[in-house]
Amino acid sequence: MSPGASGGLEAQVRGRRREKPILLMAHAVVGYPSIEANWSMLEAMDAAGVDIVELQLPFSEPIADGPLFIKANQEAIAAGVAWEGYFRLVERAAAAFRFPVLFMGYYNSILQMGEERFAERLAGAGGRGFIAADLPPEEAETLHAAARRRGLDPILIMTPMNSPERLAAIAGSASGFVYCVARKGVTGKRTELSTGVRAFLERARAATRLPLALGFGIKTPEDVRAARGLADIAIVGTACLEAWEAGGRDGYRKFIEGLAAETA
């Protein structure tokens, strides 16, 4: 169920899935540790064959994020990164790389800009869709309409706590793919891809025909391999930033290459 979807992201995901057992989606906080470092990350992602990238707009209260991402958001804001710098990076990345670029952030930022202007700017920069982590679908109708008029896909979030009825309601507003959170809590902790995750993804598949992306706690190549047959997309976020913090550009490149090798 993907009403009004016009961005073509779902078709692109399905096309890639015909070639690979699972896709890889990576994440960066724009402005941390710097825009220049972000560009090196994106170059490494593209070279390794990452399939989708979410670029996070720094926000002062990132409620879905763990300590490392909170630090990254705070330092990016302190460095002066805001909408203009964000859109410049999205536009540059969308023009240079093969993967679709998605906005990730929080609704207060979108509200302050204005929904119509946000959708216009994101589409104009070459973004393909967006994840508003704290916006329930019941309150997103006008934003979703503005986005779809410009060919953007709203990526909605499903959690293990959602009832079947709630999963169906989320599915009715989603397009592109669905972001499935592997566990309760915030980003950064390791997730055991256990029977509980499998059962949750089975419930999600019963609710939607869209591809399923699995995130929150996928941190290693072994995790990506374990997600094969469960999800269509493995999302790696905090572990990417941890790799940069630990090993800089070279360590990051090797880490991304190791993840991507498990999608071949």
What is the set of active-site residues? 54, 65
pLDDT in 10s for each residue of the chain, 264 residues: 334 445 699 999 999 999 999 999 999 999 999 999 999 999 999 999 999 999 999 999 888 788 899 999 999 999 999 999 999 999 999 999 999 999 999 999 999 999 999 999 999 999 999 999 999 999 999 999 999 999 999 999 999 999 999 999 999 999 999 999 985 444 444 445 666 899 999 999 999 999 999 998 899 999 999 999 999 999 999 999 999 999 999 999 999 999 999 999
The answer to whether the Cα torsion of 110, 113, 118, 122 is positive or negative is negative
Instruction: Count Cβ atoms below 10 Å from residue 250 Cβ, excluding itself.
Output: 10
**Options 3.40.920.10, 2.40.50.180, 3.20.20.70, 3.40.50.1000; CATH of 9-261:** 3.20.20.70
At 207 the pLDDT is: 98
Question: Residues of 11-43 as b/e, b for ≥16 C-beta within 10 angstroms?
Answer: ebbeebeeebebbbbbbbbbbbbebebbebbbe
Instruction: Count Cβ atoms below 10 Å from residue 97 Cβ, excluding itself.
Output: 16
Task: Encode 204-224 in three state secondary structure.
Answer: HHHHCCCCEEEECCCCCHHHH
Residue 26 to residue 45: CA distance in whole angstroms: 8
Helices (H) and strands (E) in the chain, counts: 11, 9
At 249 the pLDDT is: 98
- Chain CA centroid to CA 103, Å: 8
Is residue 56 within 8 A of residue 105, CB to CB? The reply is yes
CB within 8 A of 52, min separation 6: which ones? 13, 23, 24, 25, 26, 99, 100, 102, 233
Q: How far apart are the first and last CA of the chain?
A: 29
Bridge-based pairing of strands 212-215 and 178-181 is parallel
Is residue 188 within 8 A of residue 67, CB to CB? The reply is yes
Residue 233 to residue 131: CA distance in whole angstroms: 15
Q: Per-domain residue ranges for the chain?
A: 9-261
CA distances from 171 to 11, 55, 70, 163, 214 (A): 17, 23, 29, 12, 15
Query: Which residue in the block uniquely carries the two structure tokens 């089975």?
Result: 202
